[in-house]
Chains A and B, each alone.
Chain A
Amino acid sequence: MTIIREDIVAPNKGWMADVDKGQVLRITAKSVIDFNAFKRDDPREYFDTARTRIYNLNMYPSKGHRLFSKQNNPMMRILEDGFAGIGLHDLQSSHGCTDAMLQILSPLNMSVESLPDPMGLFRNLNISQKGRIRPAPKGPPEPVSIDLEAEINLVCALMNCPASETSAAGAPCTITILQPDTGDISL
């Protein structure tokens, strides 16, 4: 795979870029990353946590799962997940850094009311069998990666979001967009 673009994002900073169909977005981090995705042609079609949970019939996104839009269409597929065995990604919470995320999304004209809930990568909540939710930040000792393959042309956005109660200590994260090479076996 060829690296199209690579960025380092500091704690409390955000990032937004186009990811084309077939490209892979690699997020390498040890703190919480709040992630959103929008259909590029129509940003009113957005990644939706409820649709995603029920399409995969699982609360915790992991390898092989697909990210779904509110309009019930596939947006991305999780190809690899280096957090597996360390902790669980989160599909229950809202944004911890709403204002900063809205700033990042300003080209899309997003209002606070319409900001979709994120996928909380590397967040790790402790959810008891009785349904009690407690933050249990569990950052990996070294940064780990999650690979997300775009199934349509997307705008992807994220916050490197080290809120003290819900995230491991803040640390820079690396965001890479990869283009599979001609001849690579299509996934």
Chain B
Amino acid sequence: MKITSDEFVPANTGWGRPMNKGQVLRMTAKTIIDFACINLHNTEERFDQARTKVYNMKLWITTGDVLYSKLNNPMMTIIEDQFSGIGYHDLQYGTCSGPRYARAREEGRLDQYHHGHDIPIPDHGCWENLIDGFSAWNIPPEYIPSPLNVFQHVDIDTKTGQINHTPIRPKDPVYVDFRAEMDLAVAASACPDMAAPDFGQSIQCMIYEP
């Protein structure tokens, strides 16, 4: 493999890069990564959670599954998933953010983000980090897609619909490989991940030619 870029992304910051069709993005972490992609040549064509779930006919995607755009085009394929067997990536959550943490605190619901009420909350989160990650492409905040939440294992009771966060994460960093099916701009947020045992950690984003 020929590595074209390989970067560490500190906790609670964003990262973004263009990548070409056929290249592979490897994201390595032990805490949550909020991830999204857009068509490099039409930045209004964005990753879409709903299309992705309906095309794959499943709530949770893994190796062999495809990330779809709102315009029904395949954007990326998961070609390797080391989280498989540990947990599932999430397609229910939007992004955490400064306003979201503030509202949770105001409503006394911080325990829905982490275990305990007395932990300082961040002033920004994945929404702001993805805005940063996509800054070269000027995506308005309201059109930052709801992401694929990599390594965010969520408990879902599909009978009642109840959603609960969990602290289930990889014990040591693992990776997921995504092959680009079109030329893309990709962005990732190293989530502050208040539910992880040691909170959000730095992540690694590598692009390579297979």
CB pair A131–B92 under 8 Å, yes or no, is: no
Interfacial chain A residues near B71, Cβ < 8 Å? 112-113
CB < 8 Å: which of B70, B92, B99 contacts A113? B70
Interface check A109, CB cutoff 8 A:
no
CB pair B161–A134 under 8 Å, yes or no, is: no
B residues sitting closer than 8 Å to A (CB atoms) are: 44-46, 48-51, 53-54, 57-60, 70-71, 88, 92-94, 97, 99-100, 103, 112, 140, 142-143, 146, 156-164
CB pair B156–A59 under 8 Å, yes or no, is: yes
Interface check A147, CB cutoff 8 A:
no
What would 12 more interface pairs be, CB under 8 Å, given A59-B162, A117-B50?
A: A58-B161, A58-B162, A59-B156, A59-B158, A60-B161, A70-B94, A70-B142, A71-B99, A92-B54, A94-B50, A131-B59, A133-B57
Known A-B contacts A72-B99, A72-B100, A131-B59; A54 and B92 likewise in contact (beta carbons under 8 Å): yes
Return the chain A residue nearest B61 by Cβ: A131
CB pair B70–A45 under 8 Å, yes or no, is: no
Is the contact region of chain A dominated by helix, strand, or loop, or is it mixed? Answer: loop
In Å, the complex CA distance between A50 and B92 comes to 6
A49 vs chain B, min Cβ distance (A)? 7
Interfacial chain B residues near A46, Cβ < 8 Å? 142
* Chain A, interface residues (CB within 8 Å), range: 20 to 34
Known A-B contacts A44-B142, A92-B50; A57 and B112 likewise in contact (beta carbons under 8 Å): yes
Return the chain B residue nearest A94 by Cβ: B50
CB pair A57–B163 under 8 Å, yes or no, is: yes
Known A-B contacts A50-B94, A60-B161, A127-B59; A114 and B44 likewise in contact (beta carbons under 8 Å): yes
Interfacial chain A residues near B44, Cβ < 8 Å? 111, 113-114
The residue among A44, A58, A93 with the most chain B CB atoms within 10 A of its own CB is A58
Return the chain B residue nearest A49 by Cβ: B50
Q: Which residues of A99-115 have CB atoms within 8 Å of chain B's CB atoms?
A: 111-115
CB < 8 Å: which of B59, B161, B163, B164 contacts A133? B59
In Å, the complex CA distance between A72 and B92 comes to 15
Interface check A53, CB cutoff 8 A:
yes
Q: List 6 A-B contacts (CB under 8 A).
A: A54-B93, A57-B162, A72-B103, A113-B45, A113-B46, A128-B158
Interface check A164, CB cutoff 8 A:
no
CB pair A72–B97 under 8 Å, yes or no, is: yes
B188 vs chain A, min Cβ distance (A)? 17
CB pair A54–B162 under 8 Å, yes or no, is: no
Interfacial chain A residues near B59, Cβ < 8 Å? 92, 127, 131, 133
List the 9 shortest-distance A-B pairs measured between CB atoms, nearest first: A50-B94, A131-B59, A60-B161, A59-B161, A113-B44, A50-B146, A94-B50, A58-B161, A127-B158
CB < 8 Å: which of B49, B58, B112, B159 contacts A50? B49
In Å, the complex CA distance between A149 and B23 comes to 48
CB < 8 Å: which of A45, A57, A93, A134 contacts B50? A93
B4 vs chain A, min Cβ distance (A)? 28
Interfacial chain B residues near A92, Cβ < 8 Å? 50, 53-54, 59
The residue among A46, A48, A54, A92 with the most chain B CB atoms within 10 A of its own CB is A54
Interfacial chain A residues near B146, Cβ < 8 Å? 48-50
Return the chain A residue nearest B96 by Cβ: A54
Interfacial chain A residues near B112, Cβ < 8 Å? 57
Q: Which residues of A115-155 have CB atoms within 8 Å of chain B's CB atoms?
A: 115, 117, 127-129, 131-134
CB pair A57–B164 under 8 Å, yes or no, is: yes
CB pair B160–A58 under 8 Å, yes or no, is: yes
